[in-house]
Structure formats: structure tokens, C-alpha cells
Amino acid sequence: MLETFTLDQLRALITVIEEGSFSAAARKLHRVQSAVSTSMANLETQLGVPLWDRSTKIARLTDQGQAILAAARKVCTEVDSLRKLAAGMVLGLEASVSLCVDILFPVMALVDLCERFRDEFPSVDLRVDTQTMTGVSARVIDGSATLGVASPMGVTAGLERKVLTTIQMIPVVASQHPLAAVRGPIPTTRLRDSIQLVLSELHGEGHPDQAVLSSRTWRVRDLHTKHAMLRGNLN
């Protein structure tokens, strides 16, 4: 018998509880009270469990009714999500989007972007990946990413591109490094003999290193390692 109850009955159940009575629910649903009462009686019969405590004049759910109410709310929420998803697809909205960003992309800006994406497209799933340099373009080309955000050097020819913003690169050293004691601008000639930690791609991949100011370079593949080595004064 479970297949015979309707979504309309579940919504009526929720409305009775939210409005506080059968009569208030009838007004909210633009129906006569008898129609709402009949719908609730039929739902109780079809489910085979007592939904209403009839010892009081005010509509009150039994323990079983409370459990049914929670399930009904979940069902209605899922149905509403399904309807929004279908409506979005009709308008050309994607069911999911994969975003790949360069590892240098500011994390807080990425979080802000994801927050606004969630609010504007609540029915669209989002997957975020991070790659280094041309790794972003590779994800877009092989189809594992819908969109990519990379530096100009990391964008493969032939991809459609749009400039978003600029990011300033600033050389840094640990607080105990000799260069940290220098006051004022530091000539690039003084940087040539210091080890420079360079975020780069694997040998033979993509583009050459960027912003290299020293003749001595140690190469790393991720920012976490680079940051730890900088903090450890390994430059």
C-alpha cells in the first residue's frame, strides 16, 4: 500500500504541522478543511501507522508521526532539488563543474569564489583541483576540468582564454637569512649566489622556470614543501 500515498499528502502533512492546525493548513493550501482532514486520514491508513494523537483537540503527531514527518520533509526537499536541477538543465545549466587552478592561486580568493558559486548555483556540484603551470591546461585539454585558471606561461596554445587579474611575485627569505638583515632595496646581483627555491614542473615538461634570479636553484613541486624549506632557511 505504500505506493498509493502521494507527494501532495506529504506536503499537506508538513503544512499542518507548520501552520499548527488543519484549518490553518487548509487556508495556506487554499482548500477546505475537510479535504485536508481526509488527505491526512488517507495517509495514515495507507502508511499503516497512527500519525495523530486524537486525545487532544489540537493536531499533534504521535512518535511514529514525528518520524514520518522527518522523512516527508526529506522527500520533499529531494523532490524540490530534483525540480531545480531539471529546470536548470532546460536552461543549459551544467549538472557539475570541474575547476582546476594553478597552485599559486590565492586560497582565500578561491574560497570566496566557491562560496559565491554555491549561492548562485545551489544545484550544481563543484570539483576543485590544483596543478602546477601547464598541468592546468592539461586538465582542460583531457576533459577532466571544465575551466582552468593558470598563469600566461601555463596556458597551452589553442585554448580560449580570458585575463582575470595579476598576481605580484615577491622574493622572500627566512628571518635568519643574511639577506633579511639588509635594509632597503636589494640589487639582483646580490641574489645570484643565494639558493633560490623554485616551484617548477618535472624535467622536460611544459615551460621553463619563471622569475629565477639566482644561478643556484633548488626545485620543488609544491608550495607546502617550498614554504617548509623557506622556513627552514634552506635558501
Could you read off the pLDDT of 160-196 as tens digits, one per residue?
A: 888 877 777 788 888 888 888 888 888 888 888 888 8
CA atoms of 187 and 64, how far apart (whole Å): 77
Return the pLDDT at 1: 45
Are the CB atoms for 154 and 105 separated by under 8 Å? no
Return the pLDDT at 14: 92
Average pLDDT, the chain: 83
Among 122, 116, 55, residue whose Cα is nearest residue 88: 122
Any idea which fold 2-90 has?
Answer: Arc Repressor Mutant, subunit A (1.10.10)
Global pTM reads 0.49
* Ranges of each domain in the chain: 2-90, 96-154, 178-231
Return the pLDDT at 13: 92
CA atoms of 131 and 137, how far apart (whole Å): 9
**Residues with pLDDT less than 50, the chain:** 1, 203-204
Q: At 52, is the secondary structure helix, strand, or coil?
A: strand
